[in-house]
Amino acid sequence: MKNLFLTALMAIVVSTVVAQERPTHEIHAAMLYNFIKYVQWPNESEAGEFVVGVIGDENVFNTLKTWYDGKPKGVKKYVIKNLASADEAGSCQVVYVGKSKNKEFENIKTSTTGKSVLTITDGNGMGQKGSCINFKVIEGKLKFELNQGVIGASSLKVSTQLSSMAILI
């Protein structure tokens, strides 16, 4: 029942028109949090911190920090960090790259290669460039691409519920 509710909630958020009352950064923060629920990391059962890094979008960072910082994620605790450079990305479990830092994505990808890091971007072509998940607006609706090859190379497992809602690349 919980999974059904989360799937329905995600479908509603995904089909939301970008120009609605909620600011885009809040929609991105909510979707990012929901993506995390549908992804498994290799060390998920180990206690410690679950670090979500944000680079290039102060509004998404502030929203995530307010909503989730310090909250539990299983045996881990969410830590929301504002990343100063691409080099810091490799120490996170999730990295959100705002549009203003898309040019630095190659450096972020280098920092995260071979690590179990879910990269989430917001920009044209970023899924094809190696982002795990990329936000995309199609006909006024917010959608997301899922790069299955990059997810697999990162040793992450994505639920079929999330895959079924994505544009697969």
Residue 109, pLDDT above cutoff 50: yes
- Give which of 163, 49, 57 is closest to 102, Cα–Cα: 57
Residue 53 sits at the vertex; the CA angle it makes with 44 and 151, to the nearest 5 degrees, is 55
Least confident of 59-63, 78-82, 84-88, 122-126: 122-126
| Residues written for the chain | 169
Report pLDDT digits (tens) over 19-35. 456 788 999 999 999 99
- Beta pairing, strands 141-146 & 157-158: unpaired
pLDDT at res. 1: 52
Q: How far apart are CA 40 and CA 117, in angstroms?
A: 11
Is the model's pLDDT at 4 over the cut of 80? no
Q: Is the pLDDT of residue 63 over 50?
A: yes
Q: Residue 135 above 80 pLDDT?
A: yes
Tell whether the model's pLDDT for residue 158 goes beyond 60. Answer: yes
Q: Which amino acid is at 160?
A: T
Percent of the chain clearing pLDDT 90 (strictly above): 78
Confidence band (pLDDT; 50, 70, 90) for 45? confident
Secondary structure of 78-143 in HEC code, one letter for each residue: EEEEECCCHHHHHHCCEEEECHHHHHHHHHHHHHHCCCCCEEEEECCCCCCCCCCEEEEEECCEEE
Q: Which tokens in the block code for residue 46?
A: 């180990």
Nearest to 81, CA basis, from 73, 68, 36: 68
CATH number of this structure's domain 2-17+50-153: 3.40.50
Cα gap 126→30, rounded to integer Å: 20
- For residue 169, the model assigns a pLDDT of 86
Q: Chain-wide mean pLDDT for the chain? A: 89
CA angle 151, 112, 153 (to 5 degrees): 30
d(CA 28, CA 6): 16
Would you state the pLDDT for residue 2? 52
